[in-house]
Every structure is written in structure tokens, then in C-alpha cells.
Structure 1
Amino acid sequence: MNKPWARRAVGAAIALAVGVALTACGSSGGTGGAAVSGDGEYTGPDVDITFWHGWTGGAAPTIVPKLIEKFNSEHPNITVKSVPQEWGDIAAKMPLAIKAGKGPDVAVLHGDDLATYAAQKLLLSADDIVKGLDYDAEDFPQGVFDKGNYGGTQYAVPWSVTPLGLYVNKEVLAKAGITDIPTDKAGYLAALDALKGAGVQGEWVDGYVFTGTFEFQSLIWQFGGDLYNDDVTEAAFNSDAGVKALTWMTDLVANGYSPANVAQDGNIKALIGGQTAFNWNGVWQTTNTAFNDLDWAAAPVPQIGTEKAVWSSSTHWVFPANKGQDANKTAAAAVFVKWMNDNSLGWAETGELPAANTVREDPSLLQKWPNLAPFMDELEYAHYETVSPGIGEANAQITLGLNEALTGQKDPKAALDETADKVNQILKSNQAKYGG
């Protein structure tokens, strides 16, 4: 359900009730609360709000300041101060800063970080903010809004989505006499065989997060499996579906379609260098300047399994529960979030898809960035990050297991079973640490 187009207008006359129920949880465990209401223009006292984010490369360092400058010019009683830093630095600094009451008023987190912050009571409930801004799950791609929900409480508002896709070097593909990009298992295997006959290893598969892990996750969902059980208390990736997914990847090496021991980023470099035809990689590569002199195309990842599925990451707006958090600042931050989402068309230039449906469906987006079309099509069947506190440590083990299989140290079943044992211990430890 799309909301009326007028919701996107800057400074719209329609009042947006920003009901913010604040429960600021400090390190001492004390709580304090205040109820604040505002509208799209924010009628409270003048406030300065700090915004932490990890966009320090690509087009983002240009786009973010321009958006903030425009917002500040249109909201004289709100001054947003951007604090860009590396994502790793945010992970290290922000929890401690929030507990000390020195964290930002608004920040952006990746989907797989949300539950960890929420479980530690580092985020304000966003239920009333979401309601006040007239948001619901249908305003965003299917499945992504719920990634901000932990323990029945909404803690986040989606900002962007970044699905995996198939990148194609058309010149290399032409060496095998192929003009059509394959879309299914039969077509993909036929293309790999034809490329092999032309002396080309068609897809270089790696055992690293970028992007072997993302390929494995896409494949396990395509074969009807999942990474974890429903309540994320046990690993599920060592199922028949998981074995099929990893066997597909190891067979790429065994059958000569891929070299062994592909280095981190070796596959995308091989695609750009004309050594391979296919690379499963994220939408962010559409902004790779190394593609400028390349005859290339992007397409949805082929359907290897029985279902259409593809991995996607996501980023979300959150409202930190700083000790002594100013309710007016949180209300102003909510206005900022709504304005940023409504004005996020240009965010596509960074290689990320705006999460707001009304913005992403603006025809001018694909007119300006036509290479995003296949990634937009995939959102109907995209799968997003697992929501569970501490899940990052478990996911890291999956990557290690994939690497062992892809480097020939273990067969797929053994690698996944041994990894599942390690992951189950981590999940048990997370239950004790975070509860839930």
C-alpha cells in the first residue's frame, strides 16, 4: 500500500504526529520518560542533534552533507550535525557513548546489528515514532521493516537495501558465443560449460563474506532452507538445502568453472580484468568506477534452486537511548528521519537502493541509474539479515566453514556440521548473555 505522493513533499502542510514515548535506559538501569508530540516542521525549541553514520567512501561523503545542509535550511529550529566514521568505529564507540549519555541523537545501523543494540537497551522504542510518522511495513520492501523489530517492539525505520546481483562481463561472455544472460540452473551451467570450452573459468567463487557468504545464503534460501531455526536458537544451515547450496559452490571449483583458493575480492577483479564472465556481488558495485571502460551488465542472480531468493543487507535509522536523552531532540530526529527518507532519491548514486517505496518507485530513479533495475526486481524475493542479539559472531563462523569447504579442507556436509556445532555454542552463549 503506497501512501499519497504528497507525503514526499518537503515542508508539506499535512501534520505528522510524532508521538515519541521515551524510555532512556542508562548504564545504571535507571529510567526516565517524557512524551513529546510535534509535526513535520517540528515546533519545539531550537535543538542541535547529532547524527552518526559510517558512510565515509564513494559518493556518500558528498551526498550526505548536501542533504543535511538542505534539511537544516528548511528547519531553522533544528541543526543536524553529521559525524561520519568507519562502521567498525561506530560498533566500538557507540554502546559506551550511549551508556555515558554522550551518544548521537540518531544513527544508522545495519540490520544484523539492531537486535544486539536493542537487547542491551541501547535504543529507544520507535513504536510511537513509526506511528506518528504514519509508517508501516507496506511502505518498504517486503520483509525489511520487520528486521527492526525485537521482542515485539519496533526499534528502527528502514533507510536502504542492498541486494546481491549477477555482474556480467559481456566481452568475456561473447568469447563463448553467448549473448543472453542466463536466468536459471540449466542456462547457467550451459554458459559455464561454453565458457570452459573457450578457455574461461566462468565464475570465480570465494570463501569470504564478500561475496561467497552472500552467495551461499542466496543459494540455501533458493533450495528452501534457512540459516537458523525460527527462534534462532539452533543452526539450520547444515540441512539438505545447505549441503546442496555449498556443494553447488564447491562443484564450481571441482568442475573447473572456478579456480581454487580465490582471494578476497579476486572474483570482482577477475571480472574487471577480463578473466571471468560472472560475479555474484552487491548492488554497491554499480558505482565501481573500474566498470567505466567495461562492456558489462547487471542481472538478477540466477535461480539455481527450486525457489527465487537472494541475499540483501539493509540499513536502518535508530534512536539511541542516551542516559538523560532530551525528548525534544528525539522528536526533532524523527522529523529528520522522515525528511531524509522522503528526499532519498539521490541516495541511489551511492549504490544503495532507497528503502522508501514511494521514492524507489519514482520513474526518474531508473532514468538516472538504469543499472539498478535488476536489483529493484529482486526485492520481491530478497531475504534480509537474521534478527538475533550477537548474531554477527555466529555468522562469522559460517564464513569460516564455507572457506574450509571451498579450499578443499573438508567436504560440504562435514564443514557445515562442524560449523553448526560451533554456532550452536555461540547461540547458547548469546541466550545467556542477552536473554530473549
Structure 2
Amino acid sequence: MNKHLVTKAVAIVATVGLGITLAGCSSGGATGGAAAVDSADYTGPKVTIDFWNGWTGGAAPKIVPALIEKFNAEHENIEVKNVAMEWADIAAKMPLAIKAGKGPDVAVAHGDDVATYAAQGLLLDSGDIVDTLGYGEDDFPEGLFEGNQYQGTQYGIPWSVTPLGLYTNNDVLKAAGVDTTAPTDAASYEENLAALKAAGVQGEWVDGYVFTGTFEFESLVWQFGGDLFNDDVTKATFNSEAGVKALTHMVDQIDKGYSPANVPQDGNFNALVAGETAYNWNGVWQTTNEALQDVDFSVAPVPQIGTEKAVWSSSTDWIFPNNKGQDTNETSAAATFVKWMNDNSAGWAETGELPAANDVRNDPALVEKYPNLEPFLEQLPYAHYETVAPGISAATAEITTAVGEAVLGKKSPQDALDDAAAQADKILEQNAQTYGG
């Protein structure tokens, strides 16, 4: 499994238990204090700020320290210390560190973690920070800025986005006599999969893991007009008619012989690299995977199987921890660092993530330098991001359970989704008690 995927997958598992971990150091559901930042350019005395992040694999360990080194060279009164650790370790360590006043001055979290941290009073209200830095919802992809809000308060600033795309092994298609033009809808996708099967190739390997079966399922739910939860995130809705259609589509790939049964973790991506399959729904992060560099591959938007265009995407977001005794100068310096990093985030594309800042991401030079990013950029207008609610990771983990049970033939799509939704509803009820309304 790709190291980048390992750290993110483990983080998802860790955050499933985050509500329990945080409940032990809860501040009664109170939100963090406000952060005073007078200027986008910190002019106070020299300070050292700690930056926690989970980029330990792929190209990020080269890019992030290089950006920090450049920032430090340009700011005599700010020294940023890069503290990289596994995402799961951040989830485990940061709450207690913040309560003890030993947490970072700035950190990066996934979009579905921000509300959980905020509900526990672990984050500073960053409303004044975003105002001082000049940020608003129009500076980022639609829905991403407000995705950093909890109970009407801004707690985060978008940093990167990572949508799914359709990866294609062109050699496999050519050998099977199938057009290498990417399928765009259910009909063209079915036609190509049938042609591949006739040539002895199982064209898309479907798995039951977070990476990437869950993400494919969620994309399909939205494509069929459904959603994962109701508007106030008190009830699971992924077992709706749209959810059943989505999961049935995935199971059908196995039943029709387009996919083998019991695909192991990352088996679909490895099969694409090995020339054993033609298509793989996977994230933008794979564009920089060294395993693909000797493969004649291309990427395209995921096909529209349902009635609407939709695709899953994750995000990473800047957060300002509410450390006990947090130094206001360090918070101000951290805000300057965040603004600088966003302004200089074009190189972030080299790590397989898209800059969230519209003015950086939409610069034509970005696609000229990284042409494989174009299909992912094309999908952002209809991308769906993580559900925003405290403790949501435990509820979304039930989606993976349902997908796994269905694709392994243990339960029908309807039964798997109904059972998972019932468990998710219990978790959502418990979340309401743990984190408050």
C-alpha cells in the first residue's frame, strides 16, 4: 500500500475513536477563544512556531521543508519548526498536548476532523484571522470555506484538495482493442468493460476498503442524487435508493465478471500498474506515485454513472490550536506563515495534492507544468467534501463496513447499507451527547 495512503487510512481509523479520546479532556463543548491578529505580516519580536503535519511520505517530505526553509529565510522574526508525524499520531497526541499548553501553534487537519476539534474547545476561533488575511468563500472551491465552520464560527483555512479521478492503463486497452478515449458515462463505461472482458481482462477491480471502494461508493451516491447524511447530520441516509443503486453498481462489476471478487487492499491500483486491469478510481495523489512512471497511463474525470456529475474529494485545512497559555505573537506569526504558504502553494501540486487557493490553482502555469492535474481540476465544481460534524469519522466508518460486506457477497447492498445506517444512527446519537448540539 502506498505510504501516503497508509498514513491517511490509519488516520481515518484513529479518528473513529477520536470522540472517545477527546471526551476525556472535554471542555464541556465550549469553543476556543478568539485569536487576535493585527496584520497579515507579523512585525512583532522574533518567535518560534511549531507546525504539526502528517506529511511523512511521498514527495511532501521534500516540498514542505523546502517551503518552510524559504519562508524562514524571508522572515527574520519568525522561525517555523516542521514537526511531521503520522496522521494517526497527530490525532492521538494533539488534544492532550493542547490542553497542557504544549501543542503546535499551527497544524493541518483533514476536513472531517475540524469540527471534532472545534467542539472540544481545542481550536482558536479563526474568524478574525481569515478577515485579516483577506480570505472569503470565493477564494476557495465551492463549499470548502464553510466546511471549516462549526456552529457558525470559522475554525480553519483550506490548504489542499484531493479529488478522485479515473486512471487508465493505455497499454491494456490497446492490447484488448479498446479505444483509449476515457468513458464519460454509464453506457460508454459498460461498453468498454464488456469489450475488455471479451478480451480476457477484468477492467475495473472493485474493493471494499476506504481506499478506494468507499470513495467510489460515495461518489456514486451523490451521482444518483443521494447524500450520506441528512442536513443536520442526525441520521444516516446512505441507505437510500441512491445508495442502493450506487452499491449495486459496484457489486454488479463483480457479478458480471468485470472485477474479481475479494480484491485486497490496494490490489486494484497494483493491478493497474502491473497491466492486469484497465481502470482504477483513485485520488489525485497517485499522479506522483513512482510506480506509475513507467506505465503508459492517463487520467480523466470519473465517469458519470448516475444522473448527476459528482465526485468525492478530501481536503486538508490549516487550524490554530487553542493551547493553554497560547502566545498571541506566536498565533500572529502562524497566521503570516499560513498566508505565505497558501500564496506559494503551486509547488504543492508536485506532491499529488491540489492547492486550495483559487488564484494559485487556476494559474494556467500549474497545468502546463503538471498536465495530469487537469482532469482533477475540471471536477472541482461538482466535488463533494467530507461531512462536517463532530465525531463524524466513526459514523462514516460504517459506510466502509457496508461496502466491504456487499462486495464480498456477505450481504445484499440493501441489507448491508441498512445495517450500517442503523449503526451509524446510534453513533450520531452518541455524538450529540458527547459533543452537544
1:273 alignment counterpart: 274
> What residue is the counterpart of 2:379 in the other structure?
378
- Structure 1 pair 31/248, CA: closer, same or farther in 2 (3 Å)? closer
Aligned counterpart, 1:89: 89
Q: Which runs of 5+ in 2 are unaligned?
A: 1-24
Give the corresponding residue for 2:178: 178
* Matched AA of 2:237: A
Residue 27 of structure 1, CA deviation: 5.7
Deviation at 1:124, TM superposition (A): 0.4
Opposite residue 75 of structure 2, the aligned amino acid is H
Classify 1:26/1:42 alpha carbon distance in 2 versus 1 (closer, same or farther; 3 Å).
farther
Paired residues of 1:26 and 1:322 also in contact (CA < 8 A): no
**What secondary structure does 2:112 align onto?**
helix
Deviation at 1:175, TM superposition (A): 2.5
> Is the Cα–Cα contact under 8 Å of residues 27 and 323 in structure 1 kept in the other structure?
no
The alpha-carbon distance between structure 1 residues 72 and 400, as it changes in their structure 2 partners (threshold 3 A), is: same
* 3-state SS, counterpart of residue 112 of structure 1: coil
**Are positions 1:362 and 2:363 aligned together?**
yes
Partners of 1:102 and 1:397 in 2: how far apart? 34
Per the alignment, residue 10 of structure 1 pairs with none
| Aligned position for 2:18 | none
Return 5+ residue gaps in structure 1 as ranges.
1-24
Partner of 2:199: 198
Give the alignment's TM-score, normalised by structure 1.
0.92
- 2:286 maps to which residue? 285
SS of structure 2 residue aligned to 1:364: helix
Equivalent residue number for residue 392 of structure 1: 393
The answer to whether the 8 A contact 1:225-1:237 is kept is yes
Equivalent residue letter for 1:422: Q
Inter-CA distance 27–35: structure 2 relative to 1 (3 Å threshold): closer
Which range moved further: 361-370 or 38-47? 38-47
Matched position secondary structure for 1:247? helix
Which residue pairs with 1:222 in the alignment? 223
CA contact (8 A) 1:27 1:99 kept: no
Scaled by the length of structure 2, what TM-score is found?
0.92
In the TM superposition, residue 177 of structure 1 has moved relative to its aligned partner by 1.9
Identity %: 68
After TM superposition, the structure 1 = structure 2 runs for residues 67-106 of structure 1, keeping only pairs within 5 Å, are 67-106=67-106
**2:31 and 2:120 in contact (8 A); partners too:** no
How far is the alpha carbon of 1:362 from its aligned partner? 1.4
C-alpha distance in structure 2 between counterparts of 1:182 and 1:305, whole Å: 14
**RMSD across aligned positions (CA):** 1.6
- What residue number does 1:136 align with? 136
Contact 1:159–1:354 under 8 Å retained in 2: yes
CA deviations 1:143-197 (Å, max 9, x no partner) are: 1111101100010000000000000000111133222211100000000000011
Contact 1:26 1:321 in 2 (8 A): no
Quick one: structure 1 residues 397 and 79, their matched pair in 2 at CA, closer, same or farther if it must change by over 3 Å? same
What letter matches 1:303 in structure 2? Q
The answer on 1:124 being equivalent to 2:124 is: yes
2-side partners of 1:358 and 1:83: how far apart? 28
| Post-superposition CA distance 1:345-365 (Å, at most 9, x none) | 000000000000110111211
The aligned counterpart of 1:148 is: 148
Q: 1:304 and 1:181 mapped to 2: Cα distance?
A: 13
Q: What displacement does 1:125 show?
A: 0.5
User: Structure 2 vs 1, CA of residues 36 and 406 (structure 1 numbering), >3 Å: closer, same or farther?
Assistant: closer
Q: Deviations over 1:106-133 (max 9, x none)?
A: 0000001111100001000111101111
Amino acid across the alignment from 2:48: D
Confirm or deny: 8 A CA contact 1:38 1:44 kept in the other structure: no
Shift of 1:41: 2.8
CA distance in 2, matches of 1:295, 1:26: 51
Match in the other structure for 2:47: 47
Paired letter, 1:435: G
Change in CA separation of 1:163 and 1:337 when aligned onto 2, cut-off 3 Å: same
Q: How does 1:277-316 map to 2 (within 5 A)?
A: 277-316=278-317
Q: Is the 1:26–1:99 Cα contact (8 Å) retained in structure 2? A: no
- CA deviation digits over 1:243-281, x for unaligned, max 9? 000000000000100000000000000101111000000
CA distance 1:34–1:285, shift in 2 (3 Å): closer
Alignment of 1:251-262 (within 5 A): 251-262=252-263
Measured after TM superposition, the shift of residue 40 of structure 1 is: 3.4
Q: 2:51, 2:81 within 8 Å by CA — same for their partners in 1? A: yes
Matches of 2:164 and 2:31 in 1, distance apart?
A: 41
Q: Which residue of 1 aligns with 2:62?
A: 62
SS in 1 for 2:113: helix
